[in-house]
Amino acid sequence: MNWLLKDVRIPDVQGDKRRDLFFYNGQLMGDEAAWPKGAHRILQGHDLHLFPGFTDVHVHLREPGFSYKETIASGTRAAARGGFTTVCAMPNLNPVPDSSEHVQQQLDMIKQTSVIRVLPYGVITVGEKGQVLSDMEAMAPHVAGFSDDGKGVQRRDMMVQAMERACRLNKIIAAHCEDETLLNGGWIHDGAWAQAHGHIGIPSESEWRQVERDLALAAQTGCKYHVCHVSTKESVALIRDAKARGVDVTCETAPHYLLMNDSMLNDHGRFKMNPPIRAKEDQDALIEGLLDGTIDMIATDHAPHSAQEKAGGLRHSLNGVVGLETAFATLYTGLVKPGILPMARLLNAMITRPNQRFGIISQDDWTVFDLGASYTVAGRDFVSKGQATPFEGMQVYGQCLLTIAGGHVAYANNAAKEQA
pTM confidence score: 0.96
* Residues sharing a CB contact under 8 Å with residue 42, sequence separation 6 or more, in sequence order: 3, 4, 6, 416, 417, 418, 419
| Strands 48-52, 366-376: pairing kind | antiparallel
For the segment 167-193, the average pLDDT, to the nearest whole number, is: 97
Q: Are residues 219 and 268 in the same domain?
A: yes
Q: Are residues 126 and 272 in the same domain?
A: yes
Average of per-residue pLDDT values in the chain: 95
Give how many domains the chain has, as a whole number.
2
- Specify the pLDDT at position 418: 54
Q: Which has the minimum average pLDDT: 24-33, 154-163, 373-382?
A: 24-33
pLDDT band with cut points at 50, 70 and 90 for residue 27:
confident
301 catalytic? Reply is: yes
Task: Give first-to-last CA distance, the chain, whole Å.
Answer: 11
Q: Are residues 352 and 300 in the same domain?
A: yes
Tell me: the pLDDT tens digits for 386-400? 999 999 999 999 999
- CATH of residue 190: 3.20.20.140
- Specify the pLDDT at position 24: 86
Q: Are residues 334 and 194 in the same domain?
A: yes
Tell me: the pLDDT tens digits for 301-358? 999 999 999 999 999 999 999 999 999 999 999 999 999 999 999 999 999 999 999 9
pLDDT at 178 > cutoff 90: yes
Question: Residue 246 carries which side chain, given as an amino acid letter?
Answer: G
Q: Are residues 148 and 172 in the same domain?
A: yes
User: Using an 8 Å Cβ cutoff, are 149 and 228 in contact?
Assistant: yes
pLDDT at 32 > cutoff 80: no
Length of the chain as a residue count: 420
Residues spanned by the domain of 93: 53-365+373-397
Q: Are residues 64 and 205 in the same domain?
A: yes
Q: Are residues 24 and 134 in the same domain?
A: no
* Residues sharing a CB contact under 8 Å with residue 377, sequence separation 6 or more, in sequence order: 326, 329, 330, 389, 391, 392, 393, 394, 395, 396
Q: What percent of the chain has pLDDT over 90?
A: 86
pLDDT at 39 > cutoff 70: no
Tell me: the pLDDT tens digits for 252-293? 999 999 999 999 999 999 999 999 999 999 999 999 999 999
pLDDT band with cut points at 50, 70 and 90 for residue 185:
very high
- Out of 301, 364, 370, 381, pick the active-site residue: 301
- Specify the pLDDT at position 25: 84
Q: Phi first, then psi: give them for residue 399, nearest 5 degrees.
A: -110, 130
- Specify the pLDDT at position 415: 66
> What is the C-alpha to C-alpha distance for residues 63 and 90, in angstroms, rounded to an integer?
10
Question: Residue 397 carries which side chain, given as an amino acid letter?
Answer: Y
Q: Are residues 147 and 83 in the same domain?
A: yes
pLDDT band with cut points at 50, 70 and 90 for residue 12:
low
Cis peptide preceding 95, ω within 30 of 0: yes
Indicate the DSSP class of residue 146.
Answer: B
- Specify the pLDDT at position 420: 42
> What is the C-alpha to C-alpha distance for residues 136 and 125, in angstroms, rounded to an integer?
9
Q: Are residues 307 and 358 in the same domain?
A: yes
For the segment 238-256, the average pLDDT, to the nearest whole number, is: 98
pLDDT band with cut points at 50, 70 and 90 for residue 235:
very high
CA within 13 Å, CB half, 225: 30
- Specify the pLDDT at position 44: 83
Three-class SS of residue 403? strand
Cis peptide preceding 64, ω within 30 of 0: yes
Q: Are residues 359 and 381 in the same domain?
A: yes
Q: Are residues 26 and 91 in the same domain?
A: no
Tell me: the pLDDT tens digits for 94-115? 999 999 999 999 999 999 999 9
Q: Are residues 8 and 76 in the same domain?
A: no
